[in-house]
């Protein structure tokens, strides 16, 4: 077993505990129409999960299983290719989507490789070439020649997962006592993207992480994970790290920063990370449901009042997204932009 490059080594306090406790009680929610349950009751179940955990799993979610299986197989076929094939669609400063094998989370390298594509092609984000720059950049996807049918299948899958994301967004809105479509407008010109994660076996899993601790940025994430396991979340109630048990065919849903800000901390965006192991490779496919670049994210007027004043300052989603994205490339001396930077001081 080879030694680990120092770029992957986590500070002692962030190293994983490989004997993890399972997150007993992470809710599993059945989305099927039921004659004995109203839409409001379902919404309230989801609302409770968003408050207590910021994480839950859904079953009977409507995404066709056959399509999901095909995408999982294609992702594996893609990563199984030699590096020189994969780097033909390598991500760079001009193309932030595509293949990448040296992503850093909080300045430590992740033990993984990824392939990303935007839901909307092209996607618009702020150019940010200098501080006053208000112009936009058009970003496009890169698609590999192989495996065959990769692009078509990925695009079809993304549209199905997007439907599920809107369904959940509407239920979350109802759970807050708001009209079902309260958030929908924010997703015109959305910056959402899909990611394939591949976590190879790691010689020293006690020192590294597949993905370092982080919160997802957007409204919510819809994640397909295989049966290997490794996803851990920080429990809101006591800050303990607990693992999310793989449930066959379910999706793991977690809230991102934007939802936490919109709800003024009523709903929770949990820190999470991925633990790797010496034996088995692992695959996961998150869909990051992100607002449009023009959206100004701030606690909703309907939620805040004198007793519950806004806990966050308003920020522009596009600038937040573009800044974060840029910081993925290299180890930086400054801490990557985090949502806490917008907290109103108390
Ligand atoms: C991510 C992430 C979790 C997983 O890619 O942001 O948290 O289980 N992935 O792969
Ligand atoms: Ni994540």
Question: Residue 216 CA: which ligand 1 atom is closest?
Answer: 6
Q: How far is the CA of 346 from the centre of ligand 1 (A)?
A: 32
Cβ(123) to ligand 1 under 6 A?
A: no
Cβ(114) to ligand 1 under 6 A?
A: no
Neighbour-count burial for 28-39, b at 16+ CB within 10 Å, e otherwise:
ebebeeeeeeee
Cβ(286) to ligand 1 under 6 A?
A: yes
CB 250 within 8 A of CB 229: no
* Per-residue pLDDT band at 30 (split at 50, 70, 90): very high
Q: How far is the CA of 346 from the centre of ligand 2 (A)?
A: 28
Q: What is the pLDDT of residue 11?
A: 94
Distance in angstroms (rounded) separating the CA atoms of residues 113 and 101: 4
Percent of the chain with pLDDT over 90: 82
Q: How far is the CA of 195 from the centre of ligand 2 (A)?
A: 10
| Angle made by CA atoms 313, 47, 273, in degrees to the nearest 5 | 70
* pLDDT, average across residues 47-60: 98
Distance in angstroms (rounded) separating the CA atoms of residues 150 and 74: 6
Distance in angstroms (rounded) separating the CA atoms of residues 162 and 141: 17
Residue whose CB lies within 8 A of the most ligand 1 atoms, among 16, 23, 214, 223, for a mutation test:
223
Cβ(274) to ligand 1 under 6 A?
A: yes
Closest residue by CA, ligand 1 atom 6: 216
Q: Which residue from 284, 336, 294 is spatially nearest to 315, judged by alpha carbons? A: 294
CA 332 to chain centroid, in Å, comes to: 22
Cβ(211) to ligand 1 under 6 A?
A: yes
Judged against a pLDDT cut of 90, whether residue 342 lies above it is answered with no
- Residue indicated by tokens 């965006």: 269
Percent of the chain with pLDDT over 70: 96
Q: 150-175 and 39-52 are packed helices; what angle lies between their axes, rounded to 10 degrees?
A: 90
User: Which letter does DSSP use for residue 316 in this model?
Assistant: E
Q: How far is the CA of 30 from the centre of ligand 1 (A)?
A: 22
* pLDDT, average across residues 222-230: 97
Looking at all shown ligands, the one closest to residue 283's CA atom is: 1
Is 0.85 topped by the overall pTM? yes
CB 204 within 8 A of CB 261: no
Distance in angstroms (rounded) separating the CA atoms of residues 292 and 21: 38
- Residue indicated by tokens 């076996």: 201
Which range, of 17-21, 170-174, 190-194, 328-332, averages the lowest pLDDT?
Answer: 328-332
Q: Where are the strands (E) in the chain, listed by range?
A: 21-22, 28-30, 55-59, 98-100, 104-105, 108-109, 113-118, 123-126, 136-139, 193-199, 211-214, 220-225, 231-234, 241-243, 251-255, 272-274, 282-289, 296-297, 315-316
Spell out the residues 6+ positions from residue 162 whose beta carbon is closer than 8 angstroms to its own. 119, 192, 287, 289
Q: How far is the CA of 338 from the centre of ligand 2 (A)?
A: 14
pLDDT tens-digit map of 266-290: 999 999 999 999 999 999 999 999 9
User: Which letter does DSSP use for residue 335 in this model?
Assistant: P
Ramachandran region of residue 99, left (φ > 0), alpha (ψ -120 to 50) or beta?
beta
């Amino acid at each position: 077993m080879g030694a680990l490059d120092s770029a992957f080594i986590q500070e002692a306090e962030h190293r994983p505990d490989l004997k993890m406790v399972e997150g007993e009680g992470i809710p599993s929610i059945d989305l099927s129409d039921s004659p004995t349950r109203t839409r409001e009751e379902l919404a309230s179940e989801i609302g409770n999960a968003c408050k207590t955990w910021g994480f839950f799993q859904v079953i009977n979610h409507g995404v066709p299983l056959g399509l999901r299986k095909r995408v999982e197989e294609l992702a594996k076929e893609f990563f199984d290719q030699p590096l020189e094939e994969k780097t033909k669609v390598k991500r760079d400063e001009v193309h932030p989507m595509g293949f990448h094998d040296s992503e850093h989370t909080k300045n430590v390298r992740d033990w993984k490789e990824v392939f990303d594509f935007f839901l909307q092609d092209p996607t618009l984000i702020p150019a940010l070439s200098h501080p006053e720059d208000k112009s936009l950049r058009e970003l496009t996807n890169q698609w590999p020649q192989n495996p065959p049918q990769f692009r078509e299948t990925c695009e079809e899958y993304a549209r199905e997962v997007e439907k599920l994301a809107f369904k959940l967004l509407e239920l979350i809105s109802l759970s807050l006592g708001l009209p079902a479509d309260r958030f929908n407008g924010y997703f015109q010109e959305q910056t959402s993207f899909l990611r394939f994660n591949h976590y190879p076996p790691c010689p020293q899993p006690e020192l590294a992480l597949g993905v370092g601790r982080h919160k997802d940025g957007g409204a919510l994430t819809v994640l397909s994970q295989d049966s290997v396991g490794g996803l851990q979340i920080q429990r809101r109630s006591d800050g303990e790290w607990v693992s999310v048990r793989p449930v066959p065919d379910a999706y793991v849903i977690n809230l991102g920063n934007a939802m936490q800000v919109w709800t003024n901390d009523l709903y929770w965006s949990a820190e999470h990370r991925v633990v790797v192991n010496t034996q088995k490779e692992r695959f996961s496919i998150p869909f990051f449901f992100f607002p449009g670049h023009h959206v100004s994210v701030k606690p909703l007027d309907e939620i805040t009042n004198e007793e519950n004043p806004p806990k966050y300052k308003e920020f522009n989603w596009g600038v937040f997204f573009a800044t974060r994205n840029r910081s993925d490339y290299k180890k930086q001396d400054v801490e990557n932009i985090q949502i806490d930077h917008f907290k109103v001081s108390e």
